[in-house]
């Protein structure tokens, strides 16, 4: 939302901010600073469609349908059900702190440091039914220094994420993205 305030994204208005953690700072920021509706939807039971049905109800209650809107995941640490992903196919994006397909899942920065890669980074991808396996929209490299800890690398990747995610949202809002299979094309924008 800061990117909207700073003019990095135009003609976009968040409909709702949902968190599975009721104490998430983003809920307070969204409501207090940006007057965006918020919903805390704590995890219950096992993963799967029962929880995701609550997500669908919440999203659709705020105007996000299977045919309109974009769902942006950021720090949402639940695996979405196949039914949910299919319902909003190519309308859900996520940001991951590695250059996918390298180091999917949790602890990507730690894996990068331990593996000894010289370049890591971040990836914005469409969410599919796998874990960090959807078509790649954008990537940004971040050097891995010999002296890096996972936390130092994570800080530099986070700065790149704050630059890359708004760019991806802007491209989506302009309608300049075409997805064919795993290939994502972006028209000049």
Task: Please identify every residue annotated as catalytic.
Answer: 96
User: Among positive and negative, which fits the CA dihedral 165, 167, 168, 169?
Assistant: positive
Residue 38 host element (H or E): strand 38-40
Using an 8 Å Cβ cutoff, are 138 and 158 in contact? no
Cβ count near 12 (within 10 Å): 15
Task: Tell me which residue has tokens 């980074």.
Answer: 121
Of 87, 74, 86, 76, the residue nearest 124 (C-alpha): 74
- CB-side exposure of 20: number of CA atoms within 13 Å? 16
């Amino acid at each position: 939302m800061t990117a909207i305030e700073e003019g990095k994204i135009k003609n976009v208005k968040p409909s709702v901010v949902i968190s599975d953690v009721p104490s998430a700072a983003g809920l307070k920021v969204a409501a207090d600073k940006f007057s965006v509706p918020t919903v805390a939807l704590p995890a219950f039971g096992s993963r799967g469609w029962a929880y995701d049905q609550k997500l669908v109800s919440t999203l659709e209650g705020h105007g996000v349908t299977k045919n309109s809107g974009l769902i942006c995941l950021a720090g949402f640490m639940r695996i979405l059900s196949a039914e949910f992903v299919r319902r909003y196919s190519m309308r859900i994006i996520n940001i991951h702190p590695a250059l996918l397909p390298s180091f999917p899942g949790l602890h990507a920065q730690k894996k990068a440091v331990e593996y000894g890669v010289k370049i890591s980074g971040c990836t914005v991808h469409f969410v599919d039914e796998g874990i960090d396996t959807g078509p790649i929209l954008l990537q940004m490299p971040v050097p891995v220094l010999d002296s890096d800890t996972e936390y130092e690398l994570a800080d530099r990747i986070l700065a790149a994420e704050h630059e890359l995610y708004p760019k991806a949202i802007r491209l989506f809002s302009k309608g300049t993205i075409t997805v064919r299979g795993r290939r994502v094309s972006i028209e000049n924008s």
